[in-house]
Amino acid sequence: MEQLLLHELKGLTLSALSSLKARRAGVDCELSLADIYQVCLWSRVANRVLYPLAAFKIQDEKSYYDAVKQVRWDEHLAVDGTLAVDFFCQSSCITHSQYGAQLTKDAVVDQFREEQGARPGVDRAAPDIRINVYLFKNRARISLDMAGSSLHRRNYRKLGAEAPLKENLAACILLKAGWPSLAKRGAPLLDPMCGSGTLLIEAAMMAADYAPGLNRDYFGFLSWHHHDEQLWQGVLEQAEEKKLDGLNQIPEITGFDIDEKAVQATKSNVAAAGLSDAISVRQSDFFADENPVNNGPGLLVINPPYGERLEDESTIGVFYSKLGRSLRRKAPNWDLALFTGNPALFHRTGLSRQVILECRNGDIDCKLFKSDLPPLPSTSVVDDNSMVSQDGASETSSVWQRSGGGKNSIDVEPFRGRLKKNIRAIKGWLKSASVSNYRVYDADLPDFAFALDVYMTTDGVMVSLQEYRAPSHIDPVLAQRRIDAAAPVVCELLACPPDNLAIKRRQRQRGESQYQRVEKTNRYHEVAEGDCRLLVNLHDYLDTGLFLDHRKVRQWIATSAQGKRFLNLYCYTATATVHAAVGGAESSVSVDLSPGYIEWARNNYRLNELDPERHLLVKADCSEWVKSQITAPTVEPGAEPARFDLIFLDPPTFSNSTAMEHDWDVQKNHESMIDDCMAILNDDGTLIFSNNYRRFRLASNVSKKYHVEERTKWSIQRDFSRNSRIHQCWFIKKN
């Protein structure tokens, strides 16, 4: 939030604007006493205003004590005054913050006792001075806390909801969402999940030019030796005048919440802030309210449940899907600012998104998404309440029974136990890695020989059940009965509606059968991966359009493609290219022989608003296309042909399509294909070569000609760790 604070301080007409410099976690500046008062009273973003007194390096506890004792504390505090110490330490000889605070206090009071025969007292709540110590790698900075306590405490919060936002974080959300300019134009604001009303109150205070510190009765400078009470009263009077003038300028601000206690807390806090006439609050369920928006368009600002403390994890994903549909239908053309501690689930709203703030709320990593709200397409017939029962539990088991799944004599309990175990084991990793599409089961039990891939789509949880071809000695009827028995368990444990479960037989494909459809539903669903939006189809093809095992490679491409020319061969649906483009690639070319995949890729490009002139899609035989680039004519005589900085080569194991001049076999043909790719790779470029042929062996000549680094183990993430041969991967560079 440093840049937000810097921008805010520049707007406070301080006496030394040129001295403002953003640094990590703050802004350095040179302030007059009047400026200190202005910042403490007016900053909506800052936590603390620290006045540095001394900085020094220490060797041990005694050297620290001696250095603190050298500061002239009588210049700041009377002998009969009070003090408190906040001590923060890291990587230093003093390792305990409470002990460091005690040592600091001892040094201060010992100085007074030795020089004046008396000593100050300690008051942790409202001391005359609050000393702030930051000790890092044995370098100490001693400051006075001019605010006296964190400035997020505006003193209007009388009652709190279960998971409240800090006031200055709420202010940052509104600033990043552009609320001040919207308020000046008279646009309304709605928070349909208002909790204790922090966003509503901060929005009203901004619109009214209401100083956020006006309700505070304590600042750290009030008993400081250098405090000027007359100057301070003048700053207060000016702020009161602005508040009185601004209260009549507040646009319509509305909040409601499904929880009656939250509504009562909001009303209490609004009254404490003196804004009861400016903010309307009522109890309402946003999903059930048919007309939540009366005027507009304006700003919808939402801090929904994170799932960390307020919602059961099995229903929080469905909640986001319902929220997206409700927003599109009930508030078209409004601006949305959604702050969430579950950023990986935002894609399930189905809304366009831009991340405009990343920060921590307590110990939770959060993101603020900005989006516009188009109307819900008229073709949608999904009801908001169709996916969960009133108690939030999945109703898939009973639905499956009605749709013909039924029961049979197959003992499915071993499978149920293993799937439960896998879900528990992967849960923490999915959250920490922000992964929302993943494999949760991969033929762990021989009798249930299939893979389960979970996709968090904008239409809810979808699961692909990919059956492996049973050995010849297994009765195919029995294998099918096991799948029939496992299907309702899958739906139950993964909270997947039966219609969202796709069951496909998975076996070796050759020739044209690689590209033939399994069904013809034309059901494409949007998922998110990192900052990319991608389309998957779980029913119509043997593969879904997104190879989950290559997730780590795509993430690497996204972070490495900035300013580079990217080539994707056998591009499939070009998901790797989308990552490269979103990651800042200067340009890209993606090549595949299948017209269906090229069209699929084109739709992925449209979904991510990629420029088709910079990111080309080419329908061609990849081998022939690469050879043509080696001998391609140049634009200028004597110039080198265009080269690529990053190439992704992920060919099929075998292909004998009639559209190809020659059959392709990855074991036989990979060396010559790598040679051709290296011929069009820049000298400092990287070729990523991978394939999923389990018995594949890289030709020894490749390692002799180029610098080869095997990255297979690195590229396989936790959800595929049960199958270390799911693919092989190498990074290849020129020697």
As a whole number of angstroms, the distance between CA 449 and CA 278 comes to 62
Predicted confidence band at 398 (pLDDT cuts at 50, 70, 90)?
A: very low
DSSP characters for 80-136? Answer: T-EEEEEEEEESSS---HHHHHHHHHHHHHHHHHHHHS---EE-SSS-SEEEEEEEE
CB distance 57 to 149 below 8 Å? no
pLDDT on residue 293: 83
% of the chain residues with pLDDT over 70: 88
Q: What is the pLDDT of residue 309?
A: 41
**305 lies in a domain?**
yes
Mean pLDDT of the chain: 87
**Considering 314, 339, 372, which residue would you say is the last residue of a domain?**
372
Rounded to whole angstroms, the Cα distance separating 278 from 297 reads 19
What local confidence, expressed as pLDDT, does residue 580 receive?
A: 97
Please state whether beta strands 450-457 and 437-442 pair in parallel, antiparallel, or not at all (unpaired): antiparallel
Please tell me the predicted confidence (pLDDT) of residue 473. 62
Asked which of 192-201, 276-285, 393-402, 719-728 is least confident by mean pLDDT, the reply is: 393-402
What DSSP state is assigned to residue 411?
-
Instruction: Please check whether residues 357 and 411 belong to one and the same domain.
Output: no
| Angle at alpha carbon of residue 14, lines to 11 and 16, rounded to 5° | 120
Are 643 and 562 in a shared domain?
yes
pLDDT score, position 390: 28
- Measure CA of the first residue to CA of the last residue in the chain; give whole Å: 44
Residue 733 pairs in a beta bridge with 707
**pLDDT band at residue 619 under the 50/70/90 scheme:** very high
Q: Is 428 contained in some domain?
A: yes
Rounded Cα distance, 37 and 222, in Å: 10
Running DSSP on this structure, what letter comes out for residue 614?
T
Query: Are both 558 and 681 inside the same structural domain?
Result: yes
Domain co-membership, 501 together with 417 = yes
**Most confident option among 1-10, 345-354, 355-364:** 1-10
pLDDT of residue 308: 44
Residue 408 lies in a domain: yes
Longest dimension (CA), the chain: 100
What mean pLDDT is predicted for residues 608-636?
Answer: 85
**Any domain includes 280:** yes
Report, as an integer, the average pLDDT of 345-353.
80
State whether 486 and 601 are in the same domain: no
- Considering the domain architecture, whether residues 339 and 402 belong to the same structural domain is answered as no
pLDDT above 50: residue 220? yes
Cβ neighbours for 253, distance < 8 A, ≥ 6 positions apart? 188, 189, 190, 200, 203, 204, 207, 278, 279, 280
Same domain, 580 and 616: yes
| pLDDT given for residue 191 in this prediction | 96
For the domain that residue 462 is a member of, what is the CATH number?
A: 3.30.750.80
Place of tokens 């992925």: 604
The strand pair at 335-340 and 299-302 is best described as: parallel
241-294 pLDDT tens trace: 999 999 999 999 999 999 999 999 999 999 999 999 999 999 999 888 888 887
Q: Where are the beta strands (DSSP E) in 137-230?
A: 139-145, 189-191
Rounded distance, CA 45 to CA 150, Å?
11
Domain boundary among 334, 357, 372: 372
Q: Is residue 688 part of a domain?
A: yes
Please report, as a single letter, which amino acid is at residue 102: Q
Residue type, 681: L
C-alpha 74/C-alpha 469 separation (Å) is: 84
Cα gap 590→588, rounded to integer Å: 7
What's the pLDDT at 268? 94
> Is residue 414 located within the same domain as residue 495?
yes
- The whole-number pLDDT of residue 1 equals 87
- Same-domain pairing of 413 and 485: yes
Are 623 and 710 found together in one domain? yes
The beta strand positions in 146-278, using DSSP E, are: 189-191, 253-257
Clarify whether residues 574 and 664 are in a common domain.
yes
Q: Say what percent of the chain tops pLDDT 90.
A: 67
Per-residue confidence band for 399, with pLDDT thresholds at 50, 70 and 90:
very low
Coil, helix or strand for 689? strand
**What's the mean pLDDT in 293-299?**
85
Bin 572: left if φ > 0, else alpha if -120 < ψ < 50, else beta.
Answer: left
CATH of the domain at 348: 3.40.50.150
Tell me the average pLDDT across 723-735: 93
Q: What's the pLDDT band for 385 if we cut at 50, 70, 90?
A: very low
pLDDT at 318: 77
Q: Look up residue 417 and give its two tokens.
A: 């136990």
Say which residue, 185 or 636, is predicted with more confidence: 185
Residue 155 lies in a domain: no
Query: Residue 489: inside a domain, yes or no?
Result: yes
Asked if residue 450 has pLDDT above 60, the reply is yes
- Asked if residue 593 lies in contact with residue 662, where contact means CB atoms within 8 angstroms, the answer is no
Q: Determine the pLDDT at residue 158.
A: 76
Confidence of residue 386 (pLDDT cuts 50, 70, 90): very low
Q: How confident is the model at residue 342 (pLDDT cuts 50, 70, 90)?
A: confident
For residue 439, the enclosing domain spans 396-507
Regarding beta strands 82-90 and 587-592, do their DSSP bridges make them parallel or antiparallel, or are they unpaired?
Answer: unpaired
Residue 471's pLDDT band (boundaries 50, 70, 90)? Answer: low
CA 143 to chain centre: 35
350, exposed or middle or buried, with CB in 10 Å at 0-12, 13-18, 19+? buried
Q: Which residues pair with 648 in a beta bridge?
A: 568, 688
pLDDT in the model for residue 654:
84
Q: Is the pLDDT of residue 307 over 60?
A: no
DSSP for 525-584 reads EEEEETTEEEEE-SSSSSS-S--GGGHHHHHHHHHH-TT-EEEEES-TT-HHHHHHHHTT
pLDDT at 252: 95
Is 24 domain-assigned?
Answer: no
Q: Is the pLDDT of residue 540 over 90?
A: no
Residues 295, 191 share a domain: yes
Q: Which residues pair with 41 in a beta bridge?
A: none
Query: What total number of domains does the chain contain?
Result: 3
